[in-house]
Amino acid sequence: MHSQSESGLATSFHGSPLGRHVPGSPRRGAGVGFAVVSAFAVVSAACGPSPAAPVATAPVAPVATSNTTEAAPEAAAAAPGAGAGCKEIADLTKLPGEPVVGAWVTTESCLRYTVLKPGTGAKPQSRLSTVRAHYTGWLTDGTEFDSSVARGKPFDFRLSQVVPGWTEAMLGMKAGEKRKLVIPHKLAYGREGKGNIPPKATLVFDVELIEVLVE
């Protein structure tokens, strides 16, 4: 995250996961700015914008934005009764991206995920960890809004700089692991949406944690 990159989930998130990034300024290793560097981001609006960090310009990623109103939870583990009151998804077997091979987990925050490929490497320890990941993000109707894979460049970001749904999911992953995420609007771009992300949009991501760069 110390050098700029051509792609960047830290850009104006058409649908990227990044957290508190300035729209239009992508981060190193990131492609689009979603649903990551907000994509898929951004830090929750409740905390207010974070100090400017070196960023690059890029498409949309999961960076957090002012529309993200909920704080990113610390690796919330699924618990008995988790998912109660969460909005139902019509058919989890028909989501875009890689086919689902395992069971779905719903956390207390209503984040849903399933492991597509297990990992055996290091695990990020906190929201201050910096990681490298590849991702592709879609709306539930199959519309792709951002992809570091398509850009051919992984996305480097600090977990506190992406949307809450990404932060929570990544804190539970090991390097080498790949997950499919279903992120409700309250953990993504909120009631207003952002860029090419509609208001109250549920987002779908295939995310692979490549490595933990900085703890």
Q: Decide if 44 contacts 16 (C-beta within 8 A).
A: no
- pLDDT classification of 160: cutoffs 50, 70, 90: very high
Confidence (pLDDT) at 22: 30
H or E element that contains 165 = helix 164-171
What amino acid is encoded at 181 in this protein?
L
pLDDT of residue 92: 86
Average pLDDT over residues 59-74: 48
**Tens-digit pLDDT profile for residues 79-103:** 444 566 888 877 888 899 999 989 9
pTM, entire model = 0.70
The answer on pLDDT for 153 being more than 50 is: yes
Chain center to CA of 131:
12
Distance CA 164, CA 70 (A): 7
The confidence score (pLDDT) of residue 85 equals: 80
Query: Within a 10 A sphere around the Cβ of 117, how many other Cβ atoms?
Result: 12
Dump pLDDT digits (tens) for 113-142. 999 999 999 999 999 999 999 999 999 999
Q: What mean pLDDT is reported for the chain?
A: 74
pLDDT of residue 149 exceeding 70:
yes
pLDDT reported for residue 72: 39
Phi (first) and psi of residue 92, to 5 degrees:
-70, -15
pLDDT by residue (tens digit) across 11-57?
A: 334 445 654 333 333 344 433 444 444 433 333 333 444 444 333 33
Residue with tokens 């809004």: 145
In the chain the domains, ranked by start, together with CATH numbers, are: 18-83+93-214 (3.10.50.40)
Read off the pLDDT of residues 163-196 as tens digits, 9 standing for 90 and up. 999 999 999 999 999 999 999 999 999 999 999 9
